[in-house]
Amino acid sequence: MKSSLLQAVLPLISSFGLSLSSPIARRDGTTMQMNGPGGQSVGAAYFITNEQTGNFVVAADIGTDGTLTLRQAIATGGLGLHGNVGGVAVGPDGLFTQGAIKISTAANMLATVNPGSNTLSLFSIDTSDPINLKRVGDPIGSGGEFPVSVAFNKAGDTLCALNGGQVNGVSCFKVDPTNGLTNIAGTNRALNLNQTTPATGPAGSASHIIFSEDNTQLIASVKGVPPTPGFLAVWDVASDGSLSPEFTAIAPAQGGLLPFSMTLIEGKDAILATDAGVGFDIFDFSTSNSGNASSVVPIDGQSATCWSSFSSQTGNFYLTDIGTSMVTEVNVDANLKGSIVKQYAQGNNSGTIDNDIASIGGKDFMYVLAANATAIDVLSLNAPGQAQNIQNVDIAGPARSAGLDISSSVQGMTTFIKSL
């Protein structure tokens, strides 16, 4: 059954292809204006273009009502690249991953992958006007090939990257707000996946990297190759920032197959991991030193549930499916039992991938990258079971006007909200 599920997912993902190509983007570090100068905002949302002609961070103002206005595209100094399925370049979710771009509110920094140049880029965020990013230092080698995901620690002084290509594994870097990223000794650790550069997927590809809630572990998720399930790779983090020489591999409970994104279940020493083969997995690390997968929860009718975020206001998780273009709201109770709350249909075949949730004035808003439609869906999370679509933001039009090379390869989503 799992093999047939995956066989249904693969052609669905690869069939989206690339589209909406516009004039070649400049790669000289210029900032491209989109929709004019910024106005009053409470924060910003960011994603990357992931184009092989030059990777850009696109920044959008977040208004007081949660809506977005695209403003600027800032060159990363690196190149994008798309993974492949059966030798064909993938459009939506070209990295088979979550976390291609992340912010640190503790450090007011933003980091992104450059898969085509095997580098990472670091930016400082102007806290008074967060669409304004300033690149800090030069892009640095990611420690492997085809970097796909990054994670800041809680203090924002360490950044770790997940490489998903032929040279795959993790590497970590010190974050210097003046000079940029520098390698941390004892952190280049291999996953030893049988992979290519660019990566072939989604089966068998690296998925996501995060720190544990207490920052004592670094965790990477890896999808399985049916009938073999995937796993979470867990390294211990020492006081000097180095990682344990080997990782501990933790498999999902029976029925789990393709662990993808990971979202912490706060206060529980547990993780909700989306699973494109079934729905989602819950990993409970609290019951033993090696971890224990507590459950696998199916989502009826799902095609490729791969991305997730948590809303502190509703207390629920929100998962996106590239195949069904569906947002699924999930509750995890005090006993780590997961259940489906409600589903919210987005645009048909819009290719909903990366997402993030931001709190504004005591209310949460969800930002969903609809890659195949080259758009962003904005949902107001009014209460449990009461999410509402409030905006669909076109990316393609403003990109063309700015001369920005963009297509359905857009990837990542992260948000920054100003401190009050």
Q: What is the CATH number of the domain that holds 381?
A: 2.130.10.10
Two tokens, residue 407: 């297509």
pLDDT score recorded for residue 88: 78
Cis peptide before 198 (omega within 30 of 0): yes
Contact 369, 353 (CB under 8 A): yes
pLDDT score recorded for residue 291: 46
Residue 329 covered by a domain: yes
Residue 284 covered by a domain: yes
Contact 412, 99 (CB under 8 A): yes
Decide: residue 19, CB within 10 A, 0-12 exposed, 13-18 middle, 19+ buried.
middle
pLDDT score recorded for residue 31: 76
Q: pLDDT truncated to tens, each residue of the chain (420 aa)? A: 344 334 434 433 333 332 222 323 344 456 778 765 556 799 999 999 999 999 999 999 999 999 999 999 999 999 999 999 877 777 789 999 999 999 999 999 999 999 999 999 999 999 999 999 999 999 999 999 999 999 999 999 999 999 999 999 999 999 999 999 999 999 999 999 999 999 999 999 999 999 999 999 999 999 999 899 999 999 999 999 999 999 999 999 999 999 999 999 999 999 999 999 999 999 999 865 444 557 999 999 999 999 999 999 999 999 999 999 999 999 999 999 999 999 999 999 999 999 999 999 999 999 999 999 999 999 999 999 999 999 999 999 999 888 898 888 899 999 999 986
Specify which residues 31 forms β-bridges with.
74
Residue 415 covered by a domain: no
DSSP string for residues in 105-169 = TTTTEEEEEETTTTEEEEEEE-TTSTT-EEE-S--EE-SSSSEEEEEE-TTSSEEEEEEESSSEE
The DSSP 8-state label assigned to residue 7 in this structure reads H
pLDDT score recorded for residue 36: 56
Residue 417 covered by a domain: no
Residue 413 covered by a domain: no
Residue 418 covered by a domain: no
Domain count, the chain: 1
Residue 157 covered by a domain: yes
Q: For 218, what's the count of Cα atoms within 13 Å in the CB-facing half-sphere?
A: 31
Range of the domain at 330: 2-404
Residue 272 covered by a domain: yes
pLDDT score recorded for residue 40: 77
Contact 284, 336 (CB under 8 A): yes
